[in-house]
Structure 1
Amino acid sequence: MVNRLVLLLMLCISPACWAYSSLTASVDANPVVANQSFVLTVIADDEVDANALDTTALQRQFTVVRNNVSRSTQIINFNTRRETRWQLVLIPKDTGTVTIPPLTADGLQSQPITLKVVADNAEAGQLATVFMKAGLNEHEVWLGQPVDYWVKLYLAAELQRGQLTEPQLANASVMQLGQDKNSNEVVNGRRYRVIERHYLVTPQQAGTLTLKGSDFSGDILKPGRSNDLFARSLSTPVQVMGSPLTLTVKQPPASFTEPWLVANAVSLSEQWNPQQLTVKVGDPITRIINLTAVGTSEAALPNLKLDYPKGLKSYPDKAERGDDPQGKEIVARLQQSTAIVASSAGEYTLPEIRVAWWNAKLNRKEYATLPARTLTVLPSEASASPAPASAPSQPEQAQPRQPQESSLWRYLSMLLALALVLTFIWGYRRQPTAAAVTVAPSPQPGPERGFTQAAQNNDLQRALKLLPAHLDGIRGPTPSLTQVRQQFPELAPELDRLQQARFGRQQHPAQTTELLRLVAAAQQKVQQNQQHLPELNPKA
């Protein structure tokens, strides 16, 4: 008897006792809003294959965004219930009254649903739990002029997760401005949490363009308790499609022949290190020029063309660029640093710097300028040796002509001077020779030894300082590096390289081995030329 009861119980809870018998469909909202999603839920009262539901009929009037399939089994008082659930996130393609057609799965069919789709307007805030607003701060801009695209996401439910995509525009750069802003608004009596985001869209193509707006996809939590028999998650998926926007991009004016730069404001400034514009020959001075533009990106800033007069050597660093978002605008910056070294004394006029730009607010061409500067270069200490003092000139007085008396005195003076010289020579030869003990002075590093030692130790500053004295007199006077370049042109390229390493903003260790080799080669060449010179007084 017991065996029969157990067998009957097993038959009652077996899958055969609970057969697939119904397919139902329902929506989470009616009416729904255009460009915003709603959820169509289809439930089969048994375990059915996930691909059994045919959704082809939906694609004519709806965009199928997501299709989630879940299965569950529950046993209560020895009663087994199985369920297969499809959650389809749909976005209507048209407004008005539409019909969700019957759907089929394994031979069963759901009932059709009549759905009302309203336009995306003020009524949407009264109907939708989640909706978006978006726009452009300007609908007509110049080529390369950034435009602000803003989007606001309105949430009347708690957000479990979500993703907001950036707008899309062909041949344009898109950059998010700052962080998201959170606030609260009341729309038609309903309180919403608002997430606001801004994007900077810079078109690189002229014409009438269509910008695809941002899309939102995520999950929101349902308010209150769930009546779900299987205690599934209370979240529901949601999708909102951004509306397209039209943007007109104008070509630059034909009269603007300089590199195109459109902005709301542009300025030029400079800094000097040291600040005074008076230096000595060979001393470096650094010039830093800043180009700032409001309402454009750093990629649009042109390279600065800097011309320096002859006699000034310039060593520019790589220009530094950057963007700095400020509110709903962006500030672009370019910084150009240049080390300047004068090779000769004098006054040098640095020409005016001008950058042409188009004022987007006033629709006219303007210039950002830096005025001309005068740089005073004084002689270096090596070349500023004092001139020998000369006796003050006396005004010549008219003297009476005494040809015989003046000639006599001139001859007597010459004879006395000759006699004095011969007396000194005769006295020196008559001195007895004695072994004189001399004390050798302690060796002091002269210019030659000092330069060589500094170059071997890679002491660039000392090597360059001692080089003029080291080469002085070999091919002529070399009191400064400027004369070294003139007397030894083969050393000029290496001196430029070493000064770039010394005075450049991005300084790096310099090797003076090559300079030492070139100097030695130049000295050897001069010595060889002197050995091959013919004697001034050849012997007969």
Structure 2
Amino acid sequence: MVVSSFKAFPTNQIRILFSAFVLLLSFQVSANIELNASVDRNPVMERESFVLKIEANDSVNTNDLDLSSLQKTGFIVGRTATGSQTQIINGSIQKSTTWSVVLTAKQQGTYAIPALKLANASTSPIEVNVVRASTSKNYKDESIFIKNTLETNNLYVQQSVKLTTKLYISPQVQLQSGSLSEPTLDGALIQQQGKDKDATEIINGIRYRVIERIYTITPQSSGDFTVVSPTFNGDVTAPSRRRSAFSSFSQSKPVTAFGQDFTINVQPIPTSYTGVWLPSSIVQLNEEWSPSKDTFDVGEPITRTITLTALNVNEEQLPEVSGQYPANVKVYPDQSKTHSVVRQNALVSQRITSEAVVANAPGTYTFPEVKVTWFNTKTKRQDVATLPAKTITVVGNEITSTTLDNTAGSQSLNGASANKNQQSDCDCNLAGTSDNTDKLGLVYWIGLGSGWLAFIIMLLIYIFRSNKPTPNQTVSLDVNSPQKFDINELKRACLSHQANTTSSLLAEWITINFPESTSYDDAKKHMSAELIMSIDDLNKARFSQTQNGWKGELLWQAISKFNKSKSTVSKSQFLPPLNKA
């Protein structure tokens, strides 16, 4: 009997052998890869698209083929389509991977497609001859073409110029898919304005479908530049020659189209120009006051809307515009808004600024002119857009000014009348007889005695009441004063974020708690910084066009702190002495 023994290989050795086998197999596969390149036509005409086809005789990763060298050939490189195929013929498996690249030449000449490498395989270089198109052939005779229109070739730095691109599609072609790239210009801002317009246009008796797109190009530096046309890359349906008895087959054909390039001259900012650089053909300033009147009440909000409009300027270039106001006028500005639109073949940009203006004291106020400097690209000189000065009259209302003035006036009149009466009485007494003097003296002494008696009685009553113990004595705060102000209403308005209701109740609260102040500015001297900031936030929210963002919790917290501090001071004034006699 023969006994055979088997000793297992270590696991590590098995892994090493397996890895070496796979690596050897991959080397063998790479060594067997063949890479071929060809073009579907040669020579080609100017502006005519052709297809470069690269084929590998194995299944490989399509990302392993580097096509970046095609960007340096002078061709316009369109889209790239990839595919793989596996066939079994007589038991033999055949695999292949293909790349199809659309190329287009703008000008005649001889172009070289370099060798393309994949692993250890590479293609052979291809020389392509591009011949001039027939002079009798118009580009509008093509099935798909692009027409560009540039507004001007001479402009200033940061001046916007409009480029209109039209893509013409013949009805003889069936477009499956396509994309239109943006124009290119080094160091420039390029934006599409609005949406594409779809229309039709008849050329040489053929109704073309026209897709129009408008761009604004804003160069950021001076010099001579070339605006490169947008490029269209797409697929159209091409009927296949292979047909069967059951169905007809069709396949897609790649197409590329581009328009004319433009050379532009961008001039720098003139050395004589001063101010913020704003190049435009037209600049206007407009304003609107709401309510539209010339006389206002103290504390009445006035909304001032200033609109800056400019042609052929990006909205981001429009400067901020605001008015100048006297010291007794509070201003609550909104964040400005910008927008742009193409109207009558011109780019119109606007910046709208809204300000809430509130006068705190009566009087006549003159708001100075608002000016914006700009450069007129038509006249080639600096210009100024101006809003005229505005004068308004502010009168005091019954709460803040009129009532106080009437009260002070009545007091002064009463005092003057009393002094006058006293003076006349004195004159009459001095001119009277001795009998009248005796009677007056008697009345004087009786009145003086009665006054002293009343004073002594009131003093005794006060001493008696002050010595009477009052353990449950309540302190009357200002918020519960005879004005019957309900602090809970103010609390509910704050916590429910009602800006207008809170402002109305807050005005009453300030009048009660600061009776010696005739205006909000006077009352601010006795408020905490937290309370002032909360009130200013409320006013800013009230006078803003959007009041949804105001929250009243911080204001109520500041009011509560003020009430607690005032309550502590008031209680300390009513505390009895520590050592009672």
TM over 0.5: yes
Map of 2:21 onto structure 1: none
1:153 aligns with 2:167: yes
Deviations 1:23-56 (A, max 9, x none): 997847975333x312467999xx87789x9999
Q: What residue identity is the alignment partner of 1:470?
A: N
What residue number does 1:503 align with?
A: 543
Task: Specify the alignment match of 1:198 in structure 2.
Answer: 214
User: Matched residues in 2 for 1:206 and 1:411: separation?
Assistant: 107
Conserved? CA contact 2:46–2:107, under 8 Å: no
* Structure 2 SS opposite 1:388: helix
Q: 3-state DSSP class of the match of 2:139?
A: helix
Report the secondary structure of 1:233's partner residue. strand
Partners of 1:146 and 1:121 in 2: CA distance: 35
Change in CA separation of 1:226 and 1:414 when aligned onto 2, cut-off 3 Å? farther
Q: 1:413 aligns with which of 440, 445, 459?
A: 440
Change (3 A) 1:406 1:94: same
Q: Is the 8 A contact 1:154 1:193 kept in 2?
A: yes
Following superposition, the deviation at residue 139 of structure 1 comes to 0.8
2:558 match: 514
In structure 2, the residue matched to 1:280 is 297
| Mapped partners of 1:372, 1:214: distance in 2 | 49
- What's 1:465 paired with? 508
The answer as to whether partners of 2:105 and 2:130 remain within 8 angstroms in 1 is no
The structure richer in helix per residue is: 2
Using the alignment, how far apart are the partners of 1:54 and 1:466 within structure 2?
78
Q: Does 1:366 align with 2:383?
A: yes
- Compared with structure 1, are the counterparts of its residues 175 and 56 closer, same or farther at alpha carbon in structure 2 (3 Å cutoff)? closer
- Name the counterpart of 1:388: 410
Is the alpha carbon distance of 1:528 and 1:309 closer, same or farther for their aligned partners in structure 2, counting shifts above 3 Å?
farther
Please give the alpha-carbon distance, in whole angstroms, between the structure 1 residues aligned to 2:538 and 2:206.
Answer: 73
The structural deviation recorded for 1:113 is 10
2:147 aligns to what?
133
Q: Give matches, 1:44-59, under 5 Å.
A: none
Aligned-residue offset at 1:505: 3.4
Aligned residue runs from structure 1 range 142-181, under 5 A? 142-156=156-170, 157-181=173-197
Shift of 1:237: 0.7
Q: Distance in 2 between matches of 1:204 and 1:154?
A: 31
- What SS does the corresponding residue of 1:377 show, helix, strand or coil? strand
- Pick which of 376-385 and 483-492 moved more: 483-492
> 5 Å matches for 1:340-351?
340-351=357-368
Alignment-derived partner of residue 481 in structure 2: 446
Gap change, CA 1:152 and 1:240, over 3 Å in 2: same
Inter-partner Cα distance in structure 2 for 1:496 and 1:98:
72
Distance 1:372 1:519 in 2: 44
Q: CA RMSD in A?
A: 5.0
Distance between the aligned counterparts of 1:428 and 1:43, measured in 2?
123
Equivalent residue letter for 1:379: G
How many residue pairs get matched?
A: 482
Q: Relative to structure 1, is the Cα distance of residues 499 and 466 closer, same or farther in structure 2, using a 3 angstrom cutoff?
A: same
Contact 1:338 1:505 in 2 (8 A): no
Q: Deviations over 1:416-445 (max 9, x none)?
A: 144246468889999xx9xxxxxxxxx996
Is 2:154–2:264's contact at 8 Å kept on the other side of the alignment? yes
- Alpha-carbon distance between aligned partners in 1 of 2:444 and 2:260, rounded to the nearest angstrom: 113
Identify if the C-alpha distance between structure 1 residues 43 and 262 changes in structure 2 by more than 3 Å, giving closer, same or farther: closer
In the TM superposition, residue 414 of structure 1 has moved relative to its aligned partner by 4.7
Aligned to 2:517: 478
- The offset of 1:446, in angstroms, is 3.3
Q: Distance in 1 between matches of 2:52 and 2:199?
A: 31
Q: Describe the SS at the equivalent of 1:500.
A: helix
Q: Distance in 1 between matches of 2:339 and 2:128?
A: 56
* Partners of 1:372 and 1:42 in 2: CA distance: 74
Give the secondary-structure state (helix, strand or coil) at the position aligned to 1:362: coil
User: Which residue number in structure 1 is paired with residue 472 of structure 2?
Assistant: none
Please, which of 236, 249, 266 is the counterpart of residue 249 of structure 1?
266
8 Å CA contact 2:156–2:267 kept in 1: the answer is: yes
- Note the C-alpha offset of 1:151: 2.1
C-alpha distance 503-404 of structure 1, shift in aligned 2 (>3 A): same
Is it true that 1:240 corresponds to 2:280 in the alignment?
no
Report % sequence identity.
Answer: 29
1:60-97 CA-partner distances (Å, limit 9, x unpaired): 6866643655658799xx9x9x9978755332475158
The alpha-carbon deviation at position 138 of structure 1 amounts to: 0.7
Deviation of 1:234 after TM superposition, in Å, equals 3.1
SS of the equivalent of 2:504 reads helix
Paired residue type of 1:38? F
**Do 1:37 and 1:91's aligned partners in 2 also have CA atoms closer than 8 Å?**
yes
Contact 1:451 1:470 in 2 (8 A): no
TM superposition shift of 1:147: 0.7
Distance 1:167-1:408 versus aligned 2 partners, 3 A rule:
farther
Deviations 1:315-358 (A, max 9, x none): 11211222223243222222222222222221111111111122
- Which blocks of at least 5 consecutive residues in structure 2 are unaligned? 1-35, 462-475, 495-501, 576-581
| DSSP 3-state at the match of 2:137 | helix
- How far apart are 1:114 and its partner, in Å? 8.7
TM value normalised by structure 2: 0.67
| Range moving further from structure 2, 270-279 or 134-143 | 270-279
Q: What amino acid is aligned across from residue 544 of structure 2 in structure 1? A: G
Following the alignment from structure 2 to structure 1, what is the Cα–Cα distance between the partners of residues 242 and 152? 49
Matched, 1:38 2:50: yes
Equivalent AA in structure 1 for residue 269 of structure 2:
P
Q: Distance in 1 between matches of 2:67 and 2:517?
A: 93
Q: Measure, in 2, the Cα distance between the counterparts of 1:120 and 1:359.
A: 45
Check the 8 A contact 1:171/1:205 in 2, yes or no: yes
Aligned residues of 2:110 and 2:128 also touching (Cα < 8 A): yes
Contact 2:240/2:249 (8 A) holds in 1: no
